[in-house]
Amino acid sequence: GENVEQHPSTLSVQEGDSAVIKCTYSDSASNYFPWYKQELGKRPQLIIDIRSNVGEKKDQRIAVTLNKTAKHFSLHITETQPEDSAVYFCAGWGDDKIIFGKGTRLHILP
C-alpha cells in the first residue's frame, strides 16, 4: 500500500522568506497529490493539488512540484506571511486510499 513520508516535521522561516516542504511516496500507481493546511483547532483544508500528468502547478504564492521518477513532491510558499503559520499535510492517492504524511508545523517569525 501507499506510504507517504514528509519532511521536515517543524519549519521556522522569517516573514517574507520562502518555505519548502518535501514528501516522498511509495506507490508508483498514485496519481493525485493534494496539500492541506490545518490551523489550530480547525479541520484540514485543501490549498493546492497536483495530478501525475503535471510537473508543476502554481496558485499565487503557493506552488507544488512533482517528480514521478523519484516519487517525490514538494510544496513551495513564497513571501511568507503570518497567516501562513499552520500545520501542512501532504497526501498521496493511488488505488482506493488517500494516505497522509505526518505533517509539518510551519512557524512564521516576525
Binding-site member from 9, 18, 28, 81 for another protein (CB under 8 A)? 9
| Residue 82 backbone phi and psi in degrees, to 5 | -55, -35
Stretch that binds another protein, among 15-23, 41-49, 62-70, 72-80 (CB under 8 A): 41-49
Q: How far is the CB of 39 from another protein (least distance, A)?
A: 12
Under the criterion CB under 8 A, does residue 103 sit at the interface with another protein? yes
6 and 71 in contact (C-beta within 8 Å)? no
CB of 15 to another protein, least distance (A): 26
Residue 97 as a binder of another protein (CB under 8 A): the answer is: yes
Q: Is 72 in the site for another protein (CB under 8 A)?
A: no
For residue 49 the three cell numbers come to 493539488
Give the interface size with another protein as a residue count (CB under 8 A): 22
**Per CB under 8 A, 49 contacts another protein:** yes
By CB under 8 A, name the binding residues for another protein. Answer: 6, 9, 31-32, 34, 42-46, 49, 89, 93, 95-103
